[in-house]
């Protein structure tokens, strides 16, 4: 019960951009990055991905969850994808010959139904998905498969497997750069290159639904709109340290994942782009992926990149490590 009474006070500095986390692992400023990079996407024909194994997509195709259906679950899908892909990356680094068919993957539905930090099918934040994964963990996809709804709300938790040894956990999470809107294009690239995909939020214009190829560069008409944040009475307290800090969140309405980047010449101009994984199904875009113009914070994509690192010392991961370390 104490866990579900957890407050957001510890998250306030990062959410309000009042205090930056210092993460020594990200001291990669002297290392060069390639012009093209991806952890796997439809543009590069990379099918060697744990996400494609044994996962029935919501429209019937064999792809890891990438179709939200009639549920505002994009935040959960983006966050769970980041965790799952980073589990794959880390395990393959540690055990190149690992024999894992991709079963027992982390559950998106567990986040939708059972998280006290988000709003089920009514939306949420990848950042708070990280909080849930760190504090509570999630059941497996087998235990809690995706159903595109959350019943009567976040209290309708159908996951029955609460045994900590049978759940997936995150070891850490946060905003790339240390706090909300503290990141840069280069910092996102470094994070993706060295650790894996990140979850980001965008203000998705209507035209994005019609994307089929190329580099998307359509700016929403209200880009830059900020949502006011009350600087007092957060969890019943007055946070004086925020009175001179950031005073609003940039409006976003959709969560996706950045898996890589690249460059190409368009009308004689070198154009930089992000390679993004959407949550609208593999029949959308190019196998469910798209390219978005990079370096200009298009649609707010560079405002709130979130990393979620897997924890290999708890839950299911410990058994996998034990079996493969022999």
pLDDT tens-digit map of 53-76? 323 332 222 234 445 557 888 999
Catalytic (active site) residue 195: no
Q: Is 157 a catalytic residue?
A: no
Report the distance separating Cα 271 and Cα 250, nearest Å.
25
Residue 5 lies in a domain: no
145, part of any domain: yes
**Tell me, what's the pLDDT at 119?**
81
Pick from 324, 290, 314: nearest CA to 97 = 324
| 274 within some domain | yes
User: Is residue 299 assigned to a domain?
Assistant: yes
Task: Tell me the three state secondary structure of residue 278.
Answer: coil
Beta-sheet strands, E only, within 203-288: 215-216, 226-228, 248-250, 254-266, 269-277
Does residue 27 lie in a domain region? no
Which listed residue (114, 278, 297, 299) is catalytic?
A: 278
Between CA 197 and CA 276 the distance in angstroms is: 9
Q: What distance in Å separates the CA atoms of residue 69 and residue 146, rounded to the nearest whole number?
A: 10
SS3 assignment, position 14: helix
The Cα 144–Cα 244 span in angstroms is 44
67 vs 323, higher pLDDT: 323
281-285: average pLDDT:
90
87: tokens are: 């589990």
Q: pLDDT tier at 189 (50, 70, 90 boundaries)?
A: very high
> How high does pLDDT run on average in the chain?
78
Query: pLDDT at residue 77 above 50?
Result: yes
Range in 73-87, 113-127, 269-283, 291-305 the model is least confident about: 113-127
- Total domains present in the chain: 1
* Both structure tokens of 52: 């494609």
- Specify if 6 maps to a domain: no
Question: 225 falls in which pLDDT band (50, 70, 90)?
Answer: low
Could you tell me if residue 61 is inside a domain? yes
Q: Classify each residue of 282-308 as buried b or exposed e, where b means 16 or more C-beta atoms within 10 Å of its C-beta.
A: bebbbbbbbbbbbeebbbbbbbbbbbb
Is pLDDT above 90 for 150?
Answer: no
**In CATH, what number is assigned to the domain containing residue 206?**
3.90.70.10
How many Å apart are CA 305 and CA 176, to the nearest integer? Answer: 6
Which of 157, 179, 254, 276 does the annotation list as catalytic? 254
Q: Poorest-confidence range of 134-143, 208-217, 270-279, 305-314?
A: 134-143
pLDDT at 247: 47
Range of the domain at 187: 35-324
Q: Does the annotation mark 74 as catalytic?
A: yes
Span 237-249, pLDDT tens digits = 444 444 444 445 6
Among 74, 114, 121, 299, the one annotated catalytic: 74
Which of 14-17's residues contact partners 24+ apart within 8 Å by CB, and which partners?
Answer: 14/127, 14/174, 14/175, 14/178, 14/179, 14/180, 15/127, 15/179, 15/180, 16/179, 16/180, 16/229, 16/231, 16/239, 16/242, 16/245, 16/246, 17/179, 17/180, 17/181, 17/182, 17/245, 17/246
Per-residue pLDDT band for 113 (boundaries 50, 70, 90) equals: confident
| Stronger pLDDT, 133 or 240, i.e. the higher one | 133
Q: Is residue 22 part of a domain?
A: no
* Mean pLDDT confidence for 91-118: 84
């Amino acid at each position: 019960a104490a866990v579900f009474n957890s407050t957001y006070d510890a998250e306030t500095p990062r959410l309000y951009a009042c205090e930056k986390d210092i993460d020594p692992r990200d001291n990669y400023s002297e290392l060069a990055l390639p012009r093209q990079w991806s952890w796997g996407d439809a543009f590069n024909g990379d099918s060697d991905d744990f996400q494609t194994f044994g996962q029935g997509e919501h429209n019937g195709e064999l792809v890891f969850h990438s179709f939200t259906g009639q549920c505002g679950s994009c935040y959960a899908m983006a966050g769970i994808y980041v965790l799952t892909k980073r589990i794959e990356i880390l395990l393959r680094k540690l055990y190149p010959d690992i024999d894992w068919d991709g079963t027992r993957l982390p559950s998106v539905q567990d986040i939708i139904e059972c998280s006290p930090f988000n709003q089920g099918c009514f939306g949420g934040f990848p950042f708070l998905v990280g909080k849930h994964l760190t504090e509570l963990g999630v059941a497996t996809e087998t235990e809690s498969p995706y159903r595109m709804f959350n019943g009567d709300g976040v209290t309708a938790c159908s996951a029955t497997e609460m045994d900590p040894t049978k759940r997936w956990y995150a070891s850490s999470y946060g905003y790339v750069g240390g706090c909300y809107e503290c990141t840069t294009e280069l910092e996102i690239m470094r994070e993706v290159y060295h650790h894996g995909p990140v979850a980001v939020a965008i203000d998705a214009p209507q035209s994005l639904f019609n994307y089929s190829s190329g580099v998307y560069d359509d700016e929403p008409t209200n880009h830059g709109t900020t949502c006011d944040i009350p600087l007092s009475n957060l969890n019943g307290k007055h946070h004086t340290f925020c009175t001179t800090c950031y005073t609003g969140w940039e409006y976003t309405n959709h969560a996706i994942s950045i898996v890589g980047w690249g460059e190409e010449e368009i009308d004689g101009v070198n154009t930089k782009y992000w390679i993004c994984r959407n949550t609208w199904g593999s029949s959308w875009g190019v196998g469910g992926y798209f390219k978005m113009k990079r370096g200009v914070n298009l649609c707010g994509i560079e405002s709130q990149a979130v990393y979620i690192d897997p924890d290999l010392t708890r839950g299911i991961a410990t058994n996998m490590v034990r079996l493969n370390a022999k």
